Homo-oligomer: A and B are copies of this chain.
Amino acid sequence: MKLTPEQLKEIKEQQLQSNTTKRVTVPELEKILFDALPVLDHGFIRVVDYMGDDTSVVQAARVSYGKGTKKVSTDAGLIKYLMRHWHSTPFEMCEIKYHIKLPIFIARQWIRHRTANVNEYSARYSILDKEFYLPNSEHLAAQSQNNRQGRGDVIEGEKAKQVLDLLKGDAEQTYKNYELMLNERYDGSVIDENAVGLARELARMNLTLNTYTQWYWKTDLLNLMNFLRLRADRHAQYEIRAYADVMLETVKKWVPITFDAFMDYRVGGTEVSAKGKEVIKKLINGDNINIDQSELSKREWNELMEAFDLKDKLI
């Protein structure tokens, strides 16, 4: 990740701000506020604003349950209770805003989470940066043979080199032709003083999907956790997971108590279906139980056995 001198200057200026407020503040998060945390080869995540902390969740819950919450003596106990019982609204009382640089094909996955506010850099108005994502060798994976959406083994040697050459070559060529059509280079210089350029809103269609874009993305803590539960999961595509993992670190600094409950109940937890419960009950009871008696499909059976580390029962 390389920041331009203008960006570095802006970040420095933002970080030099020191304002006084009666609002709650989170010193751990303030320490990294505005920092560009690197992701992938040219991407970044920056926390640029936030509202509330763990106590805001508690405060909202206590207004809801009033005197009824007196029995839950600690904030941590209350937050765990809320998480366990899917009480969602108190977590909506905290808000965070990120500035994110990411490849367009990842932006297209990301935006499917609709409950967020977004302002994206517009290639109708401006020229996109000359930056595109190229996987490093350990993430250059073959198509999985048994899972349509997954990755198989890492591709190595000549084949890997060929793939990277193709990706790099096509991205560079399409970007060069983007400039040619625009009659303008990414630094603003004109190519041919006597020619006109194609409209930006048209020229952009020539770019490849690994071109980087950027946006401001603002959401509340509940929806952020919904996003992270799906995107920090091992089934998520590596490239979006790389962003989710960095965001998890920011959540940990921002709302440490909520983060712990989230990791315990959501990320680290598992769901068991009605039929799956019957299987587990029998296993606890020491009864003999196999897939045929379970009414589970093979895939369900294996997912259940994996969730509880019963590797010898995989079929």
From residue A65, how far is it (CB to closest CB) to chain B in Å? 4
Q: Which residues of A contact B (CB under 8 A)?
A: 14-15, 17-25, 30, 33-34, 49-52, 56, 59-61, 63-69, 71, 77, 80-81, 84-86, 89-90, 92-93, 95, 97, 99, 103-105, 107-108, 111-112, 114-115, 117-122, 124-127, 133, 135, 140-144, 148-153, 155, 159, 163, 166-167, 170-171, 173-174, 177, 180-182, 188, 195-202, 204-210, 214-216, 218, 220, 230, 235, 237, 263-265, 267-277, 280-281, 283-284, 286, 297, 299-300, 303, 307-310
What residues of chain B lie closer than 8 Å to A63, measured between beta carbons?
99, 119-121, 214-216
From residue A209, how far is it (CB to closest CB) to chain B in Å? 5
| Contact of A198 with B49 in the complex, beta carbons under 8 Å | no
What residues of chain B lie closer than 8 Å to A208, measured between beta carbons?
174, 205-209
| Contact of A199 with B49 in the complex, beta carbons under 8 Å | no
From residue A66, how far is it (CB to closest CB) to chain B in Å? 3
| Contact of B93 with A206 in the complex, beta carbons under 8 Å | no
Chain A interface main SS type = mixed
Q: A21-B30, A148-B65 are in contact. Are A281 and B297 (CB under 8 A)?
A: no
Q: Would you give 10 A-B contacts (Cβ < 8 Å), ordered by A?
A: A67-B127, A89-B118, A122-B149, A124-B237, A126-B148, A167-B206, A264-B273, A269-B276, A271-B271, A277-B307
| Contact of A77 with B199 in the complex, beta carbons under 8 Å | no
What residues of chain B lie closer than 8 Å to A20, measured between beta carbons?
18-21, 25, 30
| Contact of B177 with A166 in the complex, beta carbons under 8 Å | yes
What residues of chain B lie closer than 8 Å to A135, measured between beta carbons?
202
What residues of chain B lie closer than 8 Å to A34, measured between beta carbons?
22
**Given A125-B148, A166-B206, A264-B275, 19 other A-B contacts at CB below 8 A?**
A17-B22, A17-B23, A22-B30, A60-B119, A63-B121, A65-B148, A67-B125, A68-B125, A89-B119, A90-B119, A93-B119, A95-B95, A112-B118, A135-B202, A159-B195, A167-B181, A265-B271, A270-B271, A277-B307
